[in-house]
Amino acid sequence: MELVLIPAGEFIMGEAGGCLDEQPPARVRIEKAFWMGRLEVSNEQFGCFDALHDSGVESRFSMQFGVRGFYVNGPRQPVVRVSWEKAMAFCDWLSRKSGQRVTLPTEAQWEYACRAGSASPFYYGGVDADFSKFANLADITLREYVCNTYSKAREPWFNASKYDDWTPKDMRFNDGGFLSDRVGGYQANAWGLHHMHGNVAEWTRSAYRPYPYRDGDGRNRSSGPEKRVARGGSWRDRPAEARSAYRQAYEPYQPVFNVGFRVVVEATPDQETVLQTEADGIDRCGGKNVLRLGQCLWRTTTAADSCGVWPRASNWSSSPASLGNKARASKRSCGLTVVEF
C-alpha cells in the first residue's frame, strides 16, 4: 500500500453550478498535511482484515438463465460491497497494527486531494472532457454488459434492444475499462492519486449534512447513525456524477455495489516539515512524496534501502499466511511506523 503526502492548504469546496447539496461553495482550509492512499483499498488488501469478504458479482443484462455474471472480487480490483462501518473497522484494525491513526478522509480532505490544485469539475478538465486516460466511467464499453448469457467469455450483443441495453452511458468515449478495473490503471492527478474520479466511489468519514462545510460541527465523528458521504463516482456513473464536488449519501450499515474506500493517516510534524522544506519530498529516490508499505498491507523486511526509501512492490509478500506471526514495529527515516507481520 502506498500513501502520498498531501500538503496543507486552502481550496474552494463545492460547485456553484452543481447540485443543491454542493452549494454554497466556500473556502475551506486543510490545516494539517496528511497521508492518503495512492489507490483504493484492493480486495487482496482487505482480505488481510476479513478473509471471508466477497465483493461479489454483477449480473449480466440479457436472458434470465445461464452464466451468473461478471465477478468483481479479483485481488487487484478495489474492494466493494463494504459498508462505511466495515471500512471504519478496517481502519481501526490497521491503526492497531501500525500504531498510527488510520481512518477515512473527511469530505474536505477528499475533495481537496481530488482537485490537487484544480478548480474545474475534474482535475483534468470539464464535464465534456475526454476522460479515457484518466477515469473509468460509464462509457461505450458498458454496451458489453449485454452479452451471450451461456458463454463464460464476454461475447457482447451489439445489436441488443433498448430494453436490454438500458444502462446510461457516455457513448463518446472509450476508457478501456469494464466494471471496476485493477487499481492504478489510469493516469494520476497532480498529487499522484489514481482513480479519484471513477472506478469505484469512495467512502468519506463525513456525515451527509448541508453546506457550508464546517470541520468542527460534529459531521466527522467516527461513529453515529447519520448517512455518510461517498465521493468520486464509479464505472457505473456518467461524468456529471463523478465530479470533484459531487456527493452521494448512504446509510452507514449499507454495503454498496460500487462503493469502496481509501485510507488517510495523519502526518507527524516532522513529516510536514520535510514536505515544506524539500521540493522533491521524502522519497529521495523517486522525487515524489510517497511512502511505501507492504506485506499484504505492509513490508516484510526491516531495512530501508540506501536512499531511505522502502523497496519496490516487487519485493513485498502478499500471502496472508504470515499474518499469524508476531507483529514487529520498525521506523522509516521519515518517522512513520511500519508494521511487519
Chunked into runs of 10 residues, the chain (341 residues) has average pLDDT values of 93 96 97 95 96 90 63 94 98 92 97 97 96 95 80 75 83 91 88 96 98 94 96 97 98 98 87 48 39 40 27 29 29 33 26
CB burial string 201-237: b at 16+ within 10 A, e below: bbbbbbbbbebebebeeebbeeeeebbbbbbbbbbbb
176, 141 contact by CB (below 8 A): yes
C-alpha cell belonging to residue 41: 483499498
Global pTM reads: 0.81
Q: Residue 6 is which amino acid?
A: I
Measure the CA dihedral 43/46/50/55, to 10°.
Answer: -30
Measure the CA dihedral 221/224/229/234, to 10°.
Answer: 120
Give the CA distances from residue 322 to residues 92, 112, 300, in Å, rounded to whole numbers and listed in that order: 20, 37, 10
Q: Which pLDDT value is given to residue 160?
A: 79
Q: Which pLDDT value is given to residue 67?
A: 63
Q: Which pLDDT value is given to residue 167?
A: 85
Length of the chain: 341
**Which residue carries 487482496 as its cell?**
44
Task: Say how far apart CA 79 and CA 44 lie, in whole Å.
Answer: 8
Q: Which pLDDT value is given to residue 61?
A: 63
* Segment 124-138, tens digit of pLDDT: 999 999 999 999 999
Secondary structure string (H, E, C) spanning 253-294:
CCCCCCEECCCEEECCHHHHHHHHHCCCCCECCCCECEEECC
* Segment 284-309, tens digit of pLDDT: 223 345 555 443 333 322 222 222 33
Distance in angstroms between the alpha carbons of the first and the last residue of the chain = 14
73, 250 contact by CB (below 8 A): no
Element (H, E) at 187: none
**Which residue carries 459531487 as its cell?**
246
